Structure 1
């Protein structure tokens, strides 16, 4: 999949830009001032593959806590700052790997300049994050409300502030809760800048509904080559955000870190517990890192043919199952032996 060309740089030791893999971010929902709980949550996010983590910094106590948190975790930390430039400066001193600020909201230009000079000194990027709820009144009036033009113009105002200070390590986001507006905003922005883009659907909702909404929006952008880092914004455990984000990348072929399982939706010909078999197989192979495709089909008549592009698969019915490789049957086994025999064959690959 071809990606739009962008600038390339680093959050800590994690690259961002078109020359690096698309990364998955999340944001802690602990109180950053609670150092122990925040470290625990970040470690749990690291365990499911989070690449970059963002932390809210509401006051100076939180900014000072970042130093201890940073020392105990492995992934880059981005400090999320609103309005108070002193929190940004203290976060930088605490060792963060990036900032999320909107320069136009920080105050007078000299305050912004202090932040920019510190970021240059420490070699850390700044993400400008515009969403449909944070557009300046000036642009709402100029463009007739919240729309693509007011979103993009708001982002570009912040960009110009940083560029005027010769700062170019910029990441941009223009998120909306509306999928169509989000897609069009990122498309327009990607035509006029070459900075890496952080993509997502903001405030997308609960884990179930938000997963669907985010997958559509993020997937559509990535399929068009737009996007260098993603965050799935869900109301719930941030671990779910990372799991969904990783799966979006896998579905698009942008991440090949696990075995891909394909399975049929079942029909009236199904004579085995396909749902249970799929669940058990996924549990057994979840920790395997093989770039292969496994098919689990509910019909021994059509299964091998329908899943012939899979590296290996099973199809079952009436108490028996077939194991096949590249569509060719290699053995017939009893249904109760099907899962174990499949795992044995996967281990041989």
Structure 2
């Protein structure tokens, strides 16, 4: 039987609990520099990400202007923001007091005195820290180590010793590599020894298809062993891609019951319905649903509704009409032109019947 690791400690991030028996949180990272002229528009976009299941959002903070803008943005949004700090610890000091979580990299943040300043201010304001260990940016003393997973563990331990000597415990750790096996092993080594919550991810995972495959291969084994308080699926893609991938990985590992499970056929010569085009039209709507639904989109009557009778709701093509079905039973016949609107209508109705507001 596979080993199941003990529950981690609980860390508070702006009123949102990480670790323990709380749900694994899904997060992403903002892709663009902050600008004062577009701050309100950024806040609006963040609320859209929240509807996709984003529970916490990280921002790169390369300079003082970015730090001050991030502080202003926090008051405009409903989810906690995270300041990602490299090289200059004074940027963390600017953010603390407003931003509830700071990510630091021991490989480049500087001396223990600088860390002490950050920790003191984080303690004063009840903020959390994430110690982000990356295989590609280890502290200089560990860069020659051939066993990358153990080098990452040692980097985490050095920082942990420092934080515990300062009596600071509101901290998460991450041990990331672009290599799947190294990521798995480093996190298992840490979880065997310590019960601080872990932020999981594969760093620099690549474009969407390759990146999702890498993250799934690395994260599912860890999640299945009870490791992980939060996930970020790092992709050379959109924030929405990262959030959907994170939700699906959690669902695949049995760690989440939120979100739509889409079952769709790949399309063949029998198709009387443009599955690909239809999915593109309704995908954004589907991703805003937090209720766990099985939704089928099929190209012909061979695959739907008969072979998709397990679906809560589905749609398929039959001649010149689209058929909407629930649990294998046809409930509406509509034109292709109205199919997307009708399908959204019926899904909304289903969500309301199940007690979920949509």
Q: For the Cα contact (< 8 Å) 1:198–1:227, is it kept in 2?
A: yes
Q: Distance in 2 between matches of 1:90 and 1:182?
A: 32
After TM superposition, give the deviation of residue 194 of structure 1 in Å. Answer: 0.9
Distance 1:89-1:254 versus aligned 2 partners, 3 A rule:
same
Worse overlay, 254-263 or 157-166: 254-263
- Counterpart CA distance in 2 for 1:183 and 1:246 is 19
C-alpha deviation, 1:310, in angstroms: 1.6
Identify the residue that residue 117 of structure 1 maps to in structure 2.
120
CA pair 78-343 structure 1, distance change in 2 beyond 3 A: closer
Name the SS of the counterpart of 2:189 in structure 1: helix
Query: Does the residue aligned with 1:306 lie in a helix, a strand or coil?
Result: coil
Return the offset for 1:6: 0.9
The aligned residue for residue 135 of structure 1 is: 138
Does residue 63 (structure 1) correspond to residue 67 (structure 2)? The answer is: yes
Q: Distance in 2 between matches of 1:52 and 1:228?
A: 12
Specify whether residues 308 and 223 from structure 1 end up closer, same or farther in structure 2 by C-alpha distance, changes over 3 A only.
farther
Q: Which moved more, 1:56-65 or 1:118-127?
A: 56-65
* Structure 2 residues without counterparts, runs of 5 or longer: 351-358
CA separation in 1, counterparts of 2:68 and 2:343?
A: 52
1:135-284 paired onto structure 2 within 5 Å: 135-141=138-144, 143=145, 145=146, 147-282=148-283
Distance 1:277 1:86, change over 3 A: closer
User: CA deviation digits over 1:145-198, x for unaligned, max 9?
Assistant: 252111111111111110122111110111111112111111221111111111
Give the direction of change, closer, same or farther, for the CA distance of 1:233–1:121 in structure 2 (3 Å limit). Answer: same
CA RMSD of aligned residues (A): 3.2
Cα 1:30–1:146 shift into 2, 3 Å = farther
1:56–1:80 CA contact under 8 A, matched in 2? yes
Asked if structure 1 preserves the Cα contact closer than 8 Å seen for 2:273 and 2:316, the reply is no
Alignment-derived partner of residue 84 in structure 1: 88
Classify 1:103/1:308 alpha carbon distance in 2 versus 1 (closer, same or farther; 3 Å).
same
Displacement after TM superposition at 1:348 (Å): 4.2
**Structure 1 equivalent of residue 13 of structure 2:** 11
Aligned-pair CA distance for 1:76 = 1.4
Q: Give the whole-Å Cα distance in 2 for the aligned partners of 1:240 and 1:12.
A: 25
Asked if 1:73 corresponds to 2:77, the answer is: yes
TM-score, with length taken from structure 2: 0.81
Match of 2:354 in 1: none
Contact 1:148 1:181 (8 Å CA) reproduced: yes
Contact 1:190 1:226 in 2 (8 A): yes
Query: Shift of residue 207 of structure 1?
Result: 3.9
Deviates more, 1:191-200 or 1:81-90: 81-90
Deviations 1:36-64 (A, max 9, x none): 44553354133122322223333344334
Deviations 1:279-329 (A, max 9, x none): 4454665555543222233342453443232223344444466554334x3
Contact 2:61 2:84 in 1 (8 A): yes
Displacement, 1:347? 4.5
Is residue 67–residue 91 contact of structure 2 (8 Å, CA) maintained in 1? yes
Q: Any conservation in 2 of the 1:103–1:158 contact (CA below 8 Å)? A: yes
Are 1:28 and 1:53, in contact at CA under 8 Å, matched by a contact in 2? yes
- Give the gaps of 5 or more residues in structure 1: none
TM-score, normalised to structure 1, is 0.83
Answer whether contact 2:300 2:316 (CA < 8 A) is retained: yes
Q: Is the 1:300–1:321 Cα contact (8 Å) retained in structure 2?
A: no
